[in-house]
Amino acid sequence: MKVTVTPGRRLMARLSMGDDLLLALEKLCGELDIRLGEVRAIGAVSRARFGYYHQAQQKYEFLEMGKPLEILSLVGNISLKDGRPMVHAHIVLADGKGATLGGHLAEGTVIFACEAAIQEYQSGEPLVRQLDKDTGLFLWGGGKC
């Protein structure tokens, strides 16, 4: 696969308390027409939902933490799925004793405070997510690197 990209806008945003973290990131990308890029964030959540993908069963198991946690790291990318921007992100969280947990960011993670940075990329061909039969995941289509 050959993909040629050039840097686009660099954005910083403070996301709103009480919003769903994943949905807020995707909404921001949709409003700003960001179709390809990467995202990073730090902050805190009042509750979290994240997953682990079981490769053999090809399904996610989700964990829910109904307590305040610190976002140590959120990293992800932005591409298209069903014609709309989709954020695929992983998150590492810490509790009040410094114990860490993390996984695939899922809907249901509620923002306490969050500062996000987005690097947009421009490409002649958008990266579009399609179901990959080998993994059971929605991965970028168009061949293998």
Q: 123-132, pLDDT tens digit by residue?
A: 777 789 999 9
pLDDT in tens, 75-110: 999 999 999 999 999 999 999 999 999 999 999 999
Among all chains, which residue has been given the structure tokens 């079981």?
A: 54
- Is residue 79 a contact partner of residue 128, using CB atoms and an 8 Å limit? yes
Cα separation of 143 and 94, whole Å? 37
Backbone angles phi, psi at 125, to 5 degrees: -115, 120
pLDDT digits (tens, 9 = 90+) for 52-83: 999 999 999 999 999 999 999 999 999 999 99
Distance CA 66, CA 38 (A): 28
Q: Give the list of residues 6+ apart from residue 102 with CB closer than 8 angstroms, or none.
A: 50, 73, 90, 91, 92, 93
Q: How many CB atoms lie within 10 A of CB 14?
A: 11
Residue 144 has pLDDT above 90, yes or no: no
Beta pairing partners, 117 = 12, 40
pLDDT band at 44 (very low <50, low <70, confident <90, very high): very high
Q: Across the chain, what does the average pLDDT equal?
A: 93
Phi-psi region for residue 40, left (φ > 0), alpha (ψ -120 to 50) or beta? beta
Cross-strand partners of 110: 20, 47
The domain 5-140: what is its CATH number? Answer: 3.30.1330.80
142's tokens = 């168009």
Provide the token pair at 53.
Answer: 């993908």
Domain residue extents for the chain: 5-140
Tell me: the pLDDT tens digits for 20-35? 999 999 999 999 999 9
> Could you tell me the pTM of the whole model?
0.90
